Amino acid sequence: MDLTVKRLSKLAGVSVRTLHFYDEIGLLRPGRVGANGYRYYGQPALLRLQQILFYKELGLSLEEIAEVLDQPEFDVATALEDHRRALEQRLGRLRRLIDTVDRTIAYLKGDTNMDNQELFAAFSDEQQAEYEKEAEARWGQGVRDSARKWKAYSAAQKAQIKTEGEAVYRDLLAQLDAPPGSPAVQANIARWHQHLRYFFEPSTEVLRGLGALYNDDPQFNANFQKIDPKLAPFMRAAIEIYCDKQT
């Protein structure tokens, strides 16, 4: 049986206004409109709405979702398999984050010791791979090509790179009360920029995008919240100033 907007709203947990908006922009059309002017949604629309919600959960914009769903080769079953893999990866990251948070709480309470490396335990090779995927999706093929450099490093080189990265973030943490445009902060943002080159070649557009991503994407922001809630907005402000000076 086809569903009215009100019934679909209640079923999917999406507001009536949102469903109307999706119709207006062509993202989710009703299967039919009755003589009474009511929108009615059948099974194809329900499956499409499910895909919209999945992709929103994964951080895609409505424009990006429409582009994906409207591809001629789009297949719902294949998309669901991709969603499952992505959700399993996210679940693994969340478990690592929870473990790191628990150990940090215990450390702050004086119940256990915790070294600097453990503070950044959730930022694993797998997490870096997710950063690369996100960067590639947003900024193109060049990110994936350049990311191959990281996979070619030896275990010792990777350990050294991680140590350098942790040092950059520790130094930024120590500067949270300083102006983002101060020479010392900008010097550390330059170090951060250079550090990214271990993974891919970041343009100023990519740098600005990462600053936004750290703040606006729930997955990425969770990592920064774990370290210090002020770090992500501080970095975004500092990155913007840094990029302005590069142009």
Cβ count near 164 (within 10 Å): 13
What does the pLDDT read at residue 148?
65
As given in the structure block, the two tokens for residue 194 are 């250079």
Cβ count near 91 (within 10 Å): 10
What does the pLDDT read at residue 158?
79
Cβ count near 241 (within 10 Å): 16
What does the pLDDT read at residue 126?
54
What does the pLDDT read at residue 127?
56
- Which stretches within the chain are classed as H helix? 5-12, 16-24, 43-57, 62-69, 76-108, 116-119, 125-139, 141-151, 155-173, 183-196, 204-216, 218-227, 231-246
- The tens-digit pLDDT sequence of the chain (247 residues) is 789 999 999 999 999 999 999 999 999 999 999 998 889 999 999 999 998 998 887 777 888 888 888 888 888 888 878 777 777 776 776 677 677 666 667 766 766 655 555 545 555 555 555 555 555 555 455 445 555 676 777 878 877 888 888 888 889 989 999 999 999 999 999 999 998 888 777 788 888 888 888 888 777 777 788 778 899 999 999 999 999 988 6
What does the pLDDT read at residue 107?
61
What does the pLDDT read at residue 18?
93
What domains appear along the chain, each with residue ranges and CATH number? 3-69 (1.10.1660.10), 116-246 (1.10.490.50)
What does the pLDDT read at residue 190?
93
Q: Tokens 């984050």, residue?
A: 97
What does the pLDDT read at residue 16?
93
Residues whose CB falls within 8 Å of the CB of residue 237, separated by 6 or more in sequence, listed in order: 180
